[in-house]
Amino acid sequence: MKKITLSIAALALVSATFAQTLDRSVRPKPGPAPEIKLGDAQSFTLPNGLKVFVVENHKVPTVSYSIMLDIDPIEDPNKAGLSDFIGSLITAGTKTMTKEQFDEATDMIGANLSASSGGIYGGSLKKHQDVLLKLMSDALMNANFQQSELDKLRKQALAGLEQSKTEPDEMLDNVTKVLNFGKAHPYGIIASEKTVGNVNLEDCKQYYSTYFRPNVAYMAVVGDITLAEAKAAVTKYFASWQKGEVPKTTYPKVTIPNKTTVDFVPRDNSVQSVIGVTYPIDLKPGTPDVIKVRMLNEILGGSGTGRLFLNLREKHGWTYGSYSSFKNDKEVGEFQAYAKARNVVTDSSVNEIMAEMKRIRDEKVDPTTLQEMKNYVTGTFAIGLESPQTIAQYAINIERYNMPKDYYKNYLKNVAAVSVDDIQNTAKKYVQPGAAHITVVGDKAEAEKLKRFASDGVIHYYDNYGNSIEAPVTKAVASDITPEAVVAKYVDAIGGKAVVEKLTSLYSEASAEMQGQAIKITQKIVSPDKYYMSVMVPGMGEVQKMTVSGNTGKISGMGQSQDMPADMLSAYKEQADLQADLHPEKYGITMKLKGVEKVDGKDCYVVEKTNKEGNVSVSYYDQATNLLIKEVKTDKEGNGQTVILGDYKAVTNGNGYKAPHSIKIQSPQGPQELTVQKMEANKKISDSDFK
């Protein structure tokens, strides 16, 4: 017991002495960079040119095989979207197995098997690897492209494109690609309905036969396997893969901007703006600047501790997050600073992004900040090394990009060597606030506020595909034209006041597609206050029903029912009134004539309508036909949708009454397109339908 007491006393004495000599006001100097024990991936090359890298990991009985193609495809702008089909077609059946058989065989072994236009990946338990490799090699060498599968993929692609037309991040991405790389460069080619429609089966087969060759492929084998086992397995299943001449493409040179432009993409119903400050950069993989740029980016906006995040979110509260990124690429890289901000602070957010870009160029970073970022990068790099897949990818990178053999072994030493001066010099080279594209997707009313950031004081406008468009100008109208007069002309165009007054009911059946399924929508209206809508899905029956009768409304579906919220009830009561356009004051609607704007090349009167709940609807009436062709609806919470109306036709028993038979709805839930197959006016409809 005495020995323990003496030991404690001695420890206390040492601690006291140490405390007297330690100056806690001085931050300890960082130690040397950790030494990386990075084992080399084992490798071999098959006679057909397939380069294989093996990383053993015997912790779990699994194995994975991934093939990456080192190719520069020739992109036909008229068939953009082709490459997106290749992976799904490769795994959709072979010359020896149908798609169903291929999928069943994959599921039977619990494998993960997928492909893309740039390669194929497969992973399974080690005991199932023979089946896995048989499937992979069969897909690589014997894919059997089918027209029916392409048709299905095309349909899915078109649905995705329709939704992306109004998805702000997709819109920003499209326009950024065009601005940074140009439409002549593969990186700037944007898929559209037309280009996807131009892709045929022979195009896909040609891509597959041209580019899926072993002599341009790298394979990573990772898992519970030895080099000898891997060599035997890969030889057995891939030695017969025929090599071939794969074309090398020289891509056109990208134009680096020499001034700052403001590029605006108008979007209906935007309650916030999506902002991207961007430009192309020349930053090749494995070059000395890559590590310096990573350090720079971590400080500027690589994460929630970056300056952009701390400024726009933490300091000002304008956004949920703001970030930056530098992309290195063997052809051409890209920089982007990004944020989403409320409409009223769009220009302020751009101002702060530009200020942070200038600050990191003009001011040296604090040494403490730099050291913190070094610690972060060191930690994330070390964590990455725990993954055998990462080790394999590093080996492939070294081979593919002709990097120094010790690039990753010396990575942390090079991180530790980055100085404050290096960060500033790197920022001056790669951060260019005076030569950038300030790209914003949002409410067109915010565009004019951004002029001050453009070197030439001009706002350039684009559509969602990156095509230049005219500025959305609202032209003034003669003082004697009132919103009431515009609506009256619309009533005349759909049959006239007398015809509308005589409408007692309206029955319609329409078709649409939801999540790949055909649906049927039935509407019944008995004016002035009864409304019914039913949504039917084949095989499921009625999935939703809405009814309004007087001052009550119900929403039901899937065995549940609830009262309709008050604001929704108010909207549907107005819709139930077939004469609502004749007496808007009944619903507390006030109207303003905003002017004339173009919609799809048509000059339209713009009438803003606000109801008593504060919900706003902006209606666009074609001057040539007086028909309502577009409505942009926004509620007081900022939620909205855009409705495109077309194909006006006379309604059965309507005495000349016309209604749109094509209705396209764009909302946060995705796009919907309704086609009316049947519409009948003044039909007897039972009151029981509205209960």
Q: Residue 313 belongs to a domain with what CATH number?
A: 3.30.830.10
Burial class (CB in 10 A: 0-12, 13-18, 19+), 600: exposed
Residue 24 lies in a domain: no
Residues 302, 346 contacting (CB under 8 angstroms) = no
Q: Is 266 in the same domain as 153?
A: no
> Is residue 271 located within the same domain as residue 410?
yes
What's the CATH code of the domain at 493? 2.50.20.10
Q: What percent of the chain has a predicted confidence (pLDDT) above 70?
A: 93
Q: Give the start-end residues of each E strand in 564-639.
A: 590-599, 602-610, 616-622, 628-634
Report CA 361 to chain centroid distance, whole Å: 30
Residue 337 to residue 675: CA distance in whole angstroms: 42
More confident residue, 319 or 34: 319
On whether both 456 and 492 belong to a single domain, the answer is no
Nearest Cα residue to 584 out of 503, 440, 668, 487? 487
- What are 585-602's pLDDT values in tens digits? 999 999 999 999 999 889
pLDDT at 21 over 70: no
Residues 221 and 269 in one domain: no
Boundary-marking domain end, from 469, 498, 532: 469
Lowest mean pLDDT among 14-28, 101-115, 529-543: 14-28
Q: pLDDT of 120-160, one tens digit each?
A: 999 999 999 999 999 999 999 999 999 999 999 999 999 88
Distance from C-alpha of 523 to C-alpha of 531, rounded to nearest angstrom = 7
Task: Please state whether beta strands 560-563 and 552-557 pair in parallel, antiparallel, or not at all (unpaired).
Answer: antiparallel
Please indicate, yes or no, whether residues 347 and 456 belong to a single structural domain of this protein: yes
Length of the chain: 691
Under a CB-based contact definition with an 8 Å cutoff, are residues 409 and 38 in contact? yes
How far apart CA 422 and CA 415 sit, in angstroms, is 11
Per-residue pLDDT at 392: 87
Please indicate, yes or no, whether residues 660 and 623 belong to a single structural domain of this protein.
Answer: yes
Could you give the C-alpha distances from 564 to 545, 570, 613, 614, in angstroms and in order?
A: 11, 10, 15, 18
Query: Could you report the per-residue pLDDT of 258-296, keeping only the tens digit for each?
Result: 999 999 999 988 889 999 999 999 999 999 999 999 999
Model confidence pLDDT, tens digit, residues 613-625: 888 899 999 999 9
What pLDDT was estimated at residue 35? 58
Residue 32's pLDDT is what?
Answer: 58
Query: Does 356 map to a domain?
Result: yes
Q: pLDDT at position 123, please?
A: 94
221: confidence class by pLDDT, cuts 50, 70, 90: very high
| Dist. CA 82–CA 77, nearest whole Å | 10
Mean pLDDT across the chain: 91
Residues 437 and 501 both lie in one domain: no
Q: Is residue 538 part of a domain?
A: yes
Beta bridge partners of 652: 680
Q: Quick: pLDDT tens for 366-408.
A: 999 999 999 999 999 988 888 888 888 998 999 999 999 899 9
* Residue 654 resides in a domain: yes
Same-domain status, 585 and 498: yes
Q: How many domains does the chain have?
A: 3
Q: What would the mean pLDDT of 212-236 be, rounded to a whole number?
A: 96
Average pLDDT over residues 496-521: 91
Are 583 and 551 part of one and the same domain? yes
**pLDDT given for residue 15 in this prediction:** 38
**SS3 call for 397:** helix
Range of the domain at 343: 261-469
CB 438 within 8 A of CB 459: no
pLDDT, position 259:
97
For residues 271 and 414, state if they share a domain. yes
Last residue of a domain, one of 238, 269, 288: 238
pLDDT tens-digit map of 416-453: 999 999 999 999 999 999 999 999 999 999 999 999 99
pLDDT of residue 37: 59
C-beta separation of 324 from 301 below 8 A: yes
Contact between residue 50 and residue 43 where contact means Cβ atoms under 8 Å apart: no
The reply to whether 519 and 459 lie within a common domain is: no
Q: Among candidates 193, 176, 62, 84, which has minimal Cα distance to 128?
A: 62
Is residue 663, in this structure, part of any structural domain at all? yes
Structural domain contains residue 530 = yes
- Report cis status (omega within 30 of 0) of the bond before 285: no
If asked whether residues 627 and 573 sit together in one domain, one would say yes
The pLDDT-based confidence of 5 (bands split at 50, 70, 90) is: very low
Query: Across residues 67-75, what is the average pLDDT?
Result: 91
- Report pLDDT for 9: 32
- The SS3 call for residue 232 is helix
Q: Residue 36, exposed/middle/buried by CB under 10 A (0-12, 13-18, 19+)?
A: middle
C-alpha separations of 457 from 255, 278, 418, 450, 453 in Å: 21, 18, 38, 9, 7
The answer to whether residue 252 sits within a structural domain is no
pLDDT-wise least confident of 191-195, 335-339, 524-528, 570-574: 570-574
Does residue 146 lie in a domain region?
A: yes
User: Domain boundary at 447, 469, 491, which?
Assistant: 469
Backbone angles phi, psi at 289, to 5 degrees: -70, -20
pLDDT: which is higher, 555 or 639: 555
**Model confidence, pTM:** 0.85
